[in-house]
Structure 1
């Protein structure tokens, strides 16, 4: 079945898609439906997770997971005052192992941590030696935070390791009352967040990786934000898809789509950028269809299951149709004219995660009029 599908602009809400033209899709195969693509574009987006906006204190918080690089706020596992008057927080950021912590923040202040000590800012905020912080990246067997054990003996012990949890701690030591507002200008309302290179992804192009052994996915310089690999990771780790029977027999489709995402395309101001990238953050309570939809948007992608239950994926480009619909297959058609101006779709507004704006969501620059309008990355 060959039908044109209006191009889905990547990077809606939580991802980044690098578009270099109109990647109109042509569907092939009787099980592929144009309506699915329209639903992805205009349907409800994944709700913004708490981990993307604020720190939470809940008895049983939802786990957060992610693909690519994002700024993450945590769920507080412990908040306690020590015998010396220090405020102690231990925070869970992500479920699973992360690759790296890029940048730490106290509220919206970028801070540097040296040997577990937050370095003083130019205006004397967070006076050196008074604020302690650190992170664990979620190894299978972690090490409990020694400063927290020292501050809360008997409450926090070496057994509080946080295995397979990307976590952190923040200790705010007391200061003289005359210095308090200088060191802590926002009083005790100091929230620790950080930018993480998140989950390690399985890459079928790397023969050293075993889909059943996540420890083999750990690489010194991993490719973490390929959205096709991110979709595969989600299906394997969250949805329980059987790799041997549902992915491997059609692995060529996955490899072709992943390669397409990694193609380098020229930028307007020079240099190159990979065609499609993603930055997805979601909570374990999110609907799977919404998570999958958000990932697909970031590479203008779509997927289907064949009659054998195998998952076939396509990236945002032209695919030559294998079957053509002709006059003998068209049994009915209707044309509507004179559509009111307010009913015409004029402009598509999308957002993306910007490293230049502290990994916050910012709007793309939209242009063009009519139903074929596009939004592109600034520049």
Structure 2
């Protein structure tokens, strides 16, 4: 199996990252030994190499969308279940008064359920045009579900507008990617605010995945069963066939899918499936991270079985998988200590999930009532992020399992004889200490380490409560949701203002008629207009740009790089400063716009005004302690110190055979900074007497005055 090394490596990485309570190294050790004892047919050296030096699996080939559009997609996106999502804009161009925009949604095939433009749901006519509201008959949406192999699906209007892209040798097609073609008609200026308040309408869609394999029925179809989504993601990561019983233990996946599909009772008298998965996963995430995102949604635990197939089971479970008994010699020694320690003890957990009505992240809490009563105070746990979960009660079920995993009644170590090898690959084991002790309990092992010389196994364990998987809606379905405001409705946009400062750097080019171009760094401080406070949970996006009219009379804009520091509310923009070829002040105005954002919303851009970068000539101070000496060989040595003047950017040295600066020749020019000690030389054409002058210059080339006659001048230069 060529994938074995990559699969083992990623599954081990998943195990290490899924929960801090699992010792990855001990899992590795136990897995290596288990693999050796149960898969002798695989070459020993190959297996050890594969396990101990896991390689990252090759990334899936880029989808065709990345080869036939004008802008590369940063990351391919895989949909599970049903979710609302934005898009990646991959093409935008205007022809004949219509702006054509291609939006990449995700890998297909999908079913488009709803469309939103500028956060408002729209209905479409049969021809794709919006049927009502300000955008009626002005915006057209054409959706392509992304059926693999459908290479000829596109829109005739698009190719009519861009015939140069209709090249069979280089087809402009989506080819297996779910896409939306958006066409926006040009409107009169007075209608812009109503029809296109954000310029290009912001597109969001509700989509459903259509082709997930179900080993229970050997069919493909739409589902949000978390186990089937998990299987689908694993198959995509390793580029395996999800229908292959050689690569996957499909029986384990089918059993786990049935577990996820079990109907769980709710307090309102209805039921819901135990574990569902709905959301988007980006393909450029690490394989272990992708698997972990699905595993968190369903309490899943992937592993390699004795046939080296990818299998799955419940991570936290009260179901007994093996048995270790003292009376038959399995257990040689045991120590037991309290399991709830201050490092992991908690009685109230917080999880973030995605609300299915708004598709916004929201927090929910779950409290373990018995531990809360015994602790006498609330001990909170860090947030459990469940970005593939869209059910508040599912999030609470997962929090309850997390509590049982991290808050055992006791923990310790077991020393086992050779029979301990039976524990390899097992999760939950019954430990029976009778007749030495009347104690019997379920244990979860954090790792098994084998001592080959003594054939003893050392096991770290935590106890598992038999009620860990129970769900009583009257007790466990709790309504103490943390109140997160509906930011899109309750919060208001706040008017903004700004102040700006700038520093001018080095010359980076030459402009019209010899004018000079300098780099400049602008600092833009964003504040509330008229002293209005901006809440800390608001963030801002800032753009700095200039406008111009192109050769065809179209209004265009040039945007400059901006970095925004949210802590200081300061934007740093890399702009330009221009000198005037006439010698007067050179200036350039820059427009600033900003908008407020929260985790759930972003408001319209606010045009904040303009700041001007002025490049003014500044006469610098004269050089200090200038002197010239003969260094023989027709070389004059010139030494001086730049003045303590921030305007200094360089210096010039002039030479003449007579005491006349007006006719002197420029012989040396170099950059310099304030207080810099300068030593330079000048090679003269012939031996003789020479006069020297030195001047400092600012960034525009303005010289210090009067020119400084250098001490020692005139000087006789010898050969």
TM-score under structure 1 length normalisation = 0.72
**Contact 1:133/1:169 (8 A) holds in 2:** yes
Displacement over 6 Å in runs of 4+: 35-38, 370-374
**Structure 1 counterpart SS, 2:181:** strand
| Cross-structure match for 2:98 | 86
Moved more, 312-321 or 168-177: 312-321
1:97-116 Cα deviation digits (max 9, x unpaired): 12x11111113221112221
**Structure 2 counterpart SS, 1:110:** strand
Q: Which of 18, 25, 33 lines up with 1:40 in the alignment? A: 18
| Cross-structure match for 2:676 | none
1:288–1:338 distance in 2 versus 1, CA, 3 Å: closer
**Contact 1:149/1:157 (8 A) holds in 2:** no
**Contact 1:77/1:92 (8 A) holds in 2:** yes
| Cross-structure match for 2:319 | 319
C-alpha RMSD of the superposition: 3.3
1:162 CA displacement: 1.2
Structure 2 Cα separation of the partners of residues 36 and 92 of structure 1 = 29
**Structure 2 counterpart SS, 1:234:** helix
Matched, 1:273 2:286: no
| Cross-structure match for 2:357 | 356
Matched, 1:328 2:331: yes
1:283 CA displacement: 1.4
1:70 CA displacement: 1.5
1:192 CA displacement: 1.5
1:261–1:180 distance in 2 versus 1, CA, 3 Å: same
1:39–1:59 distance in 2 versus 1, CA, 3 Å: closer
| Cross-structure match for 1:262 | 261
1:325-366 Cα deviation digits (max 9, x unpaired): 7693546666589849xx743432212222211x22222243
| Cross-structure match for 2:153 | 143
1:1-38 Cα deviation digits (max 9, x unpaired): xxxxxxxxxxxxxxxxxxxxxxxxxxxxxxxx9x9778
Matched, 1:129 2:137: yes
| Cross-structure match for 2:212 | 201
1:169-214 Cα deviation digits (max 9, x unpaired): 111111112222121222x14222211102511111114x3xxxxx
Structure 1 Cα separation of the partners of residues 364 and 340 of structure 2 = 32
Q: What pairs up with 1:8-157 in 2 under 5 angstroms? A: 39-41=17-19, 59-82=72-95, 84-98=96-110, 100-114=111-125, 115-121=127-133, 124=134, 126=135, 128-139=136-147, 140-141=149-150, 142-155=152-165
Structure 1 Cα separation of the partners of residues 20 and 117 of structure 2 = 36
1:37–1:62 distance in 2 versus 1, CA, 3 Å: closer
Matched, 1:282 2:281: yes
Structure 2 Cα separation of the partners of residues 227 and 338 of structure 1 = 32
Structure 1 Cα separation of the partners of residues 345 and 163 of structure 2 = 65
- Structure number with the bigger relative contact order (C-alpha 8 A, sep ≥ 6) is 1
Structure 1 Cα separation of the partners of residues 283 and 340 of structure 2 = 45
| Cross-structure match for 2:231 | 232
| Cross-structure match for 1:17 | none
**Structure 1 counterpart SS, 2:158:** helix
**Contact 1:227/1:298 (8 A) holds in 2:** yes
1:272 CA displacement: 1.8
**Contact 1:102/1:197 (8 A) holds in 2:** yes
1:291 CA displacement: 0.7
**Structure 2 counterpart SS, 1:375:** helix
1:229 CA displacement: 0.8
Higher strand proportion (structure 1 or 2):
2
Q: Which of 174, 179, 193 lines up with 1:162 in the alignment? A: 174
1:378–1:182 distance in 2 versus 1, CA, 3 Å: farther
TM-score under structure 2 length normalisation = 0.39
Q: Which of 396, 412, 417 lines up with 1:375 in the alignment? A: 396
**Contact 1:81/1:87 (8 A) holds in 2:** yes
Gaps of 5+ in 2: 1-10, 22-69, 382-394, 398-476, 480-719
Paired residue total = 310
Structure 2 Cα separation of the partners of residues 338 and 297 of structure 1 = 24
Structure 2 Cα separation of the partners of residues 351 and 270 of structure 1 = 25
Moved more, 304-313 or 252-261: 304-313
Structure 2 Cα separation of the partners of residues 199 and 372 of structure 1 = 40
Q: What pairs up with 1:233-252 in 2 under 5 angstroms? A: 233-241=232-240, 243-247=244-248, 250-252=249-251
**Contact 1:133/1:168 (8 A) holds in 2:** yes
